[in-house]
Structures are given as structure tokens and as C-alpha cells.
Structure 1
Amino acid sequence: MHRVEDLKIWNKSIKLTKAVYLLIANLPLDEKFGLTSQIKRSVISIPSNIAEGAGRNSQKEFKHFLSIANGSAYELQTQLLLIIELDLITKDKVQPIIELCIDIQKMNYALQQKL
């Protein structure tokens, strides 16, 4: 069992979640139940699954939940790229968040290898 607040990946994923929420506040209202909703589910899934895995009783279970979190990070990355492709928000505003997402993916992979 790991103390989730001590995990760098969890803290970084909380930072990602906040950045994404601030970014998508700028999306058009007609995206509220479409892309906005899907992005929120994806980004919230990342720290939530890291936390759930950290609270489990085995390294194997932790690794499983890290895998789910990583899938959500890739889903989020795709959705952020769609925001750019659909010209909903400019690339210069979205790119730093994509880079943070990729950093979390790398951290996740490294942590899974360590376990």
C-alpha cells in the first residue's frame, strides 16, 4: 500500500486535471455534453485510478490500475489533439497540457516497470 499524496505521478496528474479543467472552460457551450464531458471523464480517471491502485493490497493490483490510468492518459491526449484539429482552442494553449500528459505517460510506464 502506498501513500498516494507521496506519489509524484499522482501529484502531477492532479496538476494535469486542474490544467485541463481550466482549458476546457474555454470550449464552446455546444461541446458541454460532447467533447467537454468526455475530456473530464478521461482526465479524472488518471489520478483516480492511480489512487485506487495505490490503495490496493498488492503490487499486481497497483500495476493493473496504473495501466487503466495510462489508457485514460492516451485517451485524453487524443481528445486534446482533437481540440486543436477542430480549431476549438489554439495549439499554443493546448500543447503544454499535451506535454504534461505525455510526461505522466512516461512516469506511469517507469513506475509499472519498477513494480
Structure 2
Amino acid sequence: MSFKFEKILIWQKAMEFGEDINSLSQAFPEKEKFNLSSQICRAVDSIALNISEGSIGQSNPEFRKFVGYSIRSLAEVVTCLHKAKRRNYISESTFKKHYDDSFDLMNMMVAFRKNIK
């Protein structure tokens, strides 16, 4: 037996992405522990959390709304990546990899949301 959300590809991808971003944030300076590191981890965790919450016992319009929250959280992660790059906490190549992963995940989530009837 499994939960409905565990079978959803965007949830699976969001879980993987979340672990990647969490690992990345561990390399940020100690002074960012309660600022940027915390913010990016909360935002990236919210992506999968909102997908799972919206999939359980919600109407389709509610599920679409929760996927929308996930997309907004992803935008927050992207902004944190920009901040990390500007502050020289990550390289251009690291930024690009995670930015591209973010863009792919966003497109998947937008397409998924459009197909919730």
C-alpha cells in the first residue's frame, strides 16, 4: 500500500531536488545558517510537501491550488540560488545545474497542474 502522492512523478522529482538543494546549502557560510540556508531549505521542502498535502482528500480545484503553491515555492528556491550565486557561495556551473533542474521541474509542475481536471 502506498500514498497517492508517492506515485506522482513531480513529487518524486521534488523530493530528489530537495535533497540536492539541502546538500548544496550545507556549504553556505555559517553566517547564513539562519538566513539563506534556512530559507532555501524551507522553500525546497515546501515543493514536495504541498504536492502531497494537495493530493490527499482534496478536490481537484484544491489540488491545483496546492500545486500552484509548490510552483511558488520553486520560484523562491530559484531566487535563493540567485542570491547564493551573487554572494559567491556557489559557482556559475553549480547555479546553472540547479537552475536548469528548477526550470525542468517547473515545466513538469505546470503541465501536471493543467491536467488536473
Q: Give the TM-score range, shorter chain.
A: over 0.9
For 2:49 and 2:36, the matched residues in 1 are separated by 20
The aligned runs of 1:29-48 (5 Å cut-off) are 29-48=30-49
For 2:101 and 2:54, the matched residues in 1 are separated by 21
1:11 to 2:19 alignment:
no
Q: What residue in structure 2 maps to residue 114 of structure 1?
A: 115
What is the count of residue pairs matched by the alignment?
114
For 1:21 and 1:4, the matched residues in 2 are separated by 21
Q: What residue in structure 2 maps to residue 65 of structure 1?
A: 66
1:52 to 2:47 alignment:
no
Q: Which deviates more from structure 2 when the two are superposed, residues 50-59 or residues 7-16?
A: 50-59
Q: For residue 101 of structure 1, report the CA deviation from its aligned partner.
A: 1.3
Deviation >4 Å, runs of 4+: none
- The code of the aligned residue for 1:75 comes to E
Q: For residue 48 of structure 1, report the CA deviation from its aligned partner.
A: 0.1
TM-score under structure 1 length normalisation: 0.94
TM-score under structure 2 length normalisation: 0.93
Runs (5+) with no aligned partner, structure 1:
none
Q: For residue 56 of structure 1, report the CA deviation from its aligned partner.
A: 2.8
Identity between Structure 1 and Structure 2 (%): 29
Q: What residue in structure 2 maps to residue 86 of structure 1?
A: 87
Native 8 Å contact 1:23 1:94 kept in 2: no
For 1:92 and 1:69, the matched residues in 2 are separated by 25
Root-mean-square deviation over aligned CA pairs: 1.1
1:22 to 2:23 alignment:
yes
